[in-house]
């Protein structure tokens, strides 16, 4: 994966497949403390007890379309390359929390990349899921929620290309405002 | 309008567009619209499915095609990623592999607009991909 945003897109797929209806993505970055973390939390089915200890082994997957699962092993690999780690907490029937910790300054840490584009497509493709995106830097914090946005706009659907682009633009402006690093900024109109 | 950086800006722009009747109201009857599903598992994402999904979202809208773009998990064709499934109204779904921007454009211009088949079709014994996950 070329960027952290693509890793996030992939990890969120696990939550979608686990039938979550609320998924929270939280990024915390601090160059001062040399730390960059990504947390993804869902209220889906949880990881079965029998496999939780082994999910970062590529030969562990519950899917039937193919025999290896690569998402979590890849994320763990990327985190460990920077001296960081991957932690997974999950309870069957309750949900799952994934936390990847990276060194902020390590050369092997991928940049965040196109996070607003990733949010655009997961929002478009999953109208039944509430997404919360939270980003914390040394300078400040920004939070976005699809539910809050729908309520504010008095609409039950955000599925419209120009609206989604505006939402992506809005998130980008705010990330710029708090000095988030490494994301592809596409100025909005 | 200047930069949108808050929900209030977002609402203001919506209201302006609505006043100008610029927002198409979609009749989202799935039977009558084109459905595009982009496979979004690890191998798909690693080979560019995000770009393809964004392209369809944007281009169906620009080219005024009544359609819904959504995603699915692994379709089991890792060797042919990015893969997408296109279902035209009243027809069986068709799966296309190795979808880059050029092929995506052909799929819209030829297959979606005129029903003409284009390269890259993966023959499948259809169940439906949702069930296979
Ligand atoms: N958020 C989650 N909720 C429930 N199960 C999960 C979650 N994340 C991972 N899993 C389980 O861990 C397995 C491995 O995940 P992953 O490494 O992403 O590979 P894959 O998604 O290709 O199977 C999944 O098949 C699934 O059983
Ligand atoms: Mg996965």
Tell me: the pLDDT tens digits for A35-72?
999 999 999 999 988 788 777 776 666 665 555 678 89
Give CA–CA dist B16/B18, Å, rounded: 5
pTM, to two decimals: 0.92
Tell me: the pLDDT tens digits for B25-76?
555 666 789 999 999 999 899 999 999 999 999 999 999 999 999 999 888 8
- CB-CB under 8 Å, B4 with A170: yes
Instruction: Nearest by CB to B76, from A65, A152, A163: name it.
Output: A65
Q: Is the dihedral of CA B14, A153, A185, A175 positive or negative?
A: positive
Domain residue spans of chain B: 1-30, 33-131
**Residue A167 corresponds to which tokens in the numbers above?**
């939402």
Rounded mean pLDDT, A137-152: 98
Q: What is the pLDDT of residue B132?
A: 42
Give CA–CA dist A167/B22, Å, rounded: 18
Indicate the helix (H) or strand (E) that contains B112: none
Instruction: Nearest by CB to A6, from B45, B62, B70: name it.
Output: B45
- Range list of β-strands (E), A109-168: 130-136, 141-145
Indicate the helix (H) or strand (E) that contains A106: none
As a whole number, the mean pLDDT across chain B is 86
List residues in chain B touching A: CB distance below 8 A.
1, 3-7, 9-11, 13-14, 17, 23, 38, 40-43, 45-46, 50, 53-54, 57-58, 60-62, 68-71, 73-76, 78, 132-133
pLDDT of A189 over the 50 cut: no
**Residue B63 corresponds to which tokens in the numbers above?**
């080219």
Give the number of C-alpha atoms closer than 13 A to the C-alpha of residue A65, restricted to the C-beta side.
20
Instruction: Indicate if ligand 1 lies below 6 Å from the C-beta of A3.
Output: no
Class of domain B33-131: alpha beta
Question: Predicted ipTM?
Answer: 0.90
Ligand 2 geometric centre to CA of B1 (Å):
40
């Amino acid at each position: 994966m070329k960027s952290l945003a693509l890793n996030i897109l992939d990890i969120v797929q696990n939550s979608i497949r686990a039938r979550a209806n609320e998924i929270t993505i939280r990024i915390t970055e601090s160059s001062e403390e040399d730390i960059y973390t990504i947390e993804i939390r869902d209220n889906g089915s949880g990881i079965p007890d029998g496999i939780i200890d082994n999910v970062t082994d590529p030969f562990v997957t519950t899917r039937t379309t193919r025999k290896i699962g690569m998402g979590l092993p890849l994320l763990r690999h990327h985190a460990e390359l920077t001296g960081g780690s991957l932690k997974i907490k999950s309870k069957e029937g309750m949900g799952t929390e994934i936390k990847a910790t990276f060194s902020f300054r390590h050369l092997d840490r991928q940049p965040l990349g196109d996070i607003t584009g990733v949010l655009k497509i997961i929002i478009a493709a999953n109208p039944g899921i509430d997404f919360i995106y939270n980003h914390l830097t040394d300078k400040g914090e920004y939070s976005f929620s699809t539910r809050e946005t729908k309520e504010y706009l008095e609409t039950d659907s955000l599925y419209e290309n120009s609206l989604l682009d505006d939402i992506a633009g809005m998130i980008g402006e705010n990330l710029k405002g708090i000095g988030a690093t490494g994301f592809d900024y596409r100025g909005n109109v | 309008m200047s930069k949108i950086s808050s929900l209030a800006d977002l609402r203001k722009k919506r209201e302006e567009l609505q006043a100008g009747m610029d927002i198409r109201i979609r009749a989202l009857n799935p039977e009558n619209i084109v459905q595009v599903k982009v496979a979004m598992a690890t191998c798909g994402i690693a080979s560019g499915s995000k770009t393809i999904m964004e392209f369809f979202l944007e281009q169906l809208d620009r080219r005024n095609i009544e359609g819904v773009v959504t995603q699915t998990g692994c379709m089991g064709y890792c060797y042919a990623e990015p893969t997408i499934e296109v279902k035209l109204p009243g027809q069986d779904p068709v799966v296309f592999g190795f979808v880059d921007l050029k092929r995506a454009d052909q799929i819209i211009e030829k297959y979606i607009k005129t029903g003409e088949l284009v390269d890259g079709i993966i023959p499948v014994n259809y169940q439906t991909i949702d069930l296979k996950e």
